[in-house]
Amino acid sequence: MRLLRNDRRALLLLLATTALILLVGLGNRELWGAETRWANISLQMLQSGDYFDPYLKGGAYYDKPLLSYWLITASAWLTGSLGAWSLRLSSVLAAWLSVWLVYLLGERLLQRGTGLIAGWMLATTFYFVFWARVATADILTVCGVLAALWWYWRGPDDTGFWRYSVFFGLLALTSLCKGLIGFILPGLLLLPHLLGQGRWKRHLNLRLAAALLLGGALYITPFLLSHLYGAANYAESGLGLVVRENLVRFFQPFDNLGPLYTYLLYLPVYTLPWAPCWVIALWVALRQWRHIEPNTRWLVQGLALLMLFFTASGSRRSYYVLPLVPFAQLLGAWWVTRWLAVRNSQGRGLHLGFAATAALLVAVLGILVPWSNGGGGVIGFGKAVRELASAQAPLAQWHLVMVEVDNKVPMYLQTGGAPFRYVADTEDYPRSGDTATLMAWLERDSGQHWDPQRTIIVAHYRPGQPPPLDYLSHDHQVITTQPSRGERLLHSSAEHSVAYIPKA
């Protein structure tokens, strides 16, 4: 079966196609959803030089551990600036590695060729690719879980200190991206295998305890650094947020209150277009439970434990199901491999399906969506503001004041100069008056001098409402957000931004 040959060329084709799917148009799509938080927090780290205290629009916001922000700021340092590419690069690399790791797991644990099919399934799964092109910690978590499992399965009976140390190190790094699920999910997945034949007993030794302590020390290090070297007046505790986000949210959820059947609905959706494969595979595995391979039974048991864990949590959202997606596709690939073997098929139809799906993903996510974001929107707004300001003076000489600004905007208005000043809508800034009144308030509130001729004021407003701070238009040039191509095509309208630039 040519499709299922486990050779280097087949793997290289899979990885090259995955890179194409993930990278085409990546830098041309405007910020979306939760990634605006990662963009703003990383930008404020770069502007302030404080990498231990995450701030969102000027306020303390320790919603996630620090590693995902550090990966973004490291990418910005390597590429020279914070932009769409550097913002999303860590997620893209994690997704690319996840496809490779699924391939390795499938080839090691299941029938030859299963890993290749599972890799293609994952690489052409719509929602996996969608979230891989978004700057959040979710795909980083998926990659970390897969890496820990791959390391375990390389030597499941190895009781060496090095084996344990790398394993717990991977768990610690994964948990530093989003939370303690980096420890919990691999543990749940491996539990059936460890309990089988009493395997857990051979791992009860001092070497495991010492490695676990090292992993715990690695996990706690960023929080200690934040406590020791962060701002003394920082308003939130990183470890306190760990308890809130991982324990309180699980037992006493305060948001994201999805129904009990959330993941029964969204796992099939998040594995499209290959969801029928793992559904059929699950049915076949349960019918032939005593006759299937032990590793296939482990895969089904691990998936079931993950589903129970996420369902037991009171806080449920659709994309929380992402860590289950690679294992569902592995299960689906197991059935497809068996099905092709029984029919002695070369899998040409499956080959064409993978090619067509990859092309469709590139066309939609890599070309159509970025095109729809052009011609206006926040990208055009940022470009217009920077061009007009730089015509008067070098961008680094400008100060920017963000008045309850849209989360998308700050990244597109970077000047390379002073950190932005953020003003919340709850503050008592002057809603009416003139430029001198606003400048006087800024000086009183911030304790620093503001040059009216080198200060840009940015605010946001909803469609159909007048722009805020309209009194500044008397002595400022006004730039507002223009509809993007997609908004004009769909006759929709998002929130708008307005910038007031002093007249030359």
For 451-490, the DSSP string reads -GGGEEEEEEE-TTSPPSSGGGGGTEEEEEPPP-HHHHHH
Q: Could you give the CA distance from residue 176 to residue 280 in angstroms, rounded to a whole number?
A: 36
**Residue 249 pLDDT:** 58
Residue 488 has pLDDT above 90, yes or no: no
One domain, residues 104 and 154 = yes
Mean pLDDT of 345-368: 91
Residue 1 has pLDDT above 50, yes or no: no
Q: How far apart are the first and last CA of the chain?
A: 71
pTM greater than the 0.85 cutoff: yes
One domain, residues 278 and 410 = no
Q: Which of 344, 371, 398 is the last residue of a domain?
A: 371
**DSSP 8-state assignment for residue 135:** -
One domain, residues 169 and 188 = yes
pLDDT tens sequence across 52-101: 999 998 888 888 889 999 999 999 999 888 999 999 999 999 999 999 99
Q: Predicted confidence band at 6 (pLDDT cuts at 50, 70, 90)?
A: low
Q: Determine the length of the chain.
A: 504
The total number of structural domains that make up the chain:
2
Q: Could you give the CA distance from residue 389 to residue 395 in angstroms, rounded to a whole number?
A: 7
One domain, residues 80 and 47 = yes
One domain, residues 81 and 227 = yes
Q: Could you give the CA distance from residue 153 to residue 159 in angstroms, rounded to a whole number?
A: 13
Residue 224 domain boundaries: 2-371
Q: Which of 371, 406, 426 is the last residue of a domain?
A: 371
Residue 257 has pLDDT above 60, yes or no: yes
One domain, residues 197 and 237 = yes
Q: Which amino acid is at 478?
A: V
**Residue 3 pLDDT:** 45
- Better-scored residue on pLDDT, 346 or 422: 422
Residues 5, 13: contact at Cβ < 8 Å?
no
One domain, residues 350 and 399 = no
One domain, residues 99 and 244 = yes
Q: Which of 352, 371, 390 is the last residue of a domain?
A: 371
Mean pLDDT of 278-300: 94
Tell me the pairing of strands 59-60 and 55-56: antiparallel
Residues 412, 41: contact at Cβ < 8 Å?
no
Q: Could you give the CA distance from residue 276 to residue 370 in angstroms, rounded to a whole number?
A: 30
One domain, residues 393 and 343 = no
One domain, residues 381 and 352 = no
**Residue 244 pLDDT:** 65
Give the containing element (helix H, strand E) for 250: helix 249-251
One domain, residues 337 and 461 = no
CA angle, 117 as apex, 130 and 128 as ends, to 5°? 10
Residue 444 φ then ψ, to 5°: -65, -40
pLDDT tens sequence across 111-140: 888 999 999 999 999 999 999 999 999 999
Which of helix, strand or coil describes residue 331? Answer: helix
- Better-scored residue on pLDDT, 309 or 19: 19
One domain, residues 325 and 464 = no
Residue 499 has pLDDT above 60, yes or no: yes
- Better-scored residue on pLDDT, 249 or 383: 383
Residue 14 φ then ψ, to 5°: -60, -50
Mean pLDDT of 244-272: 73
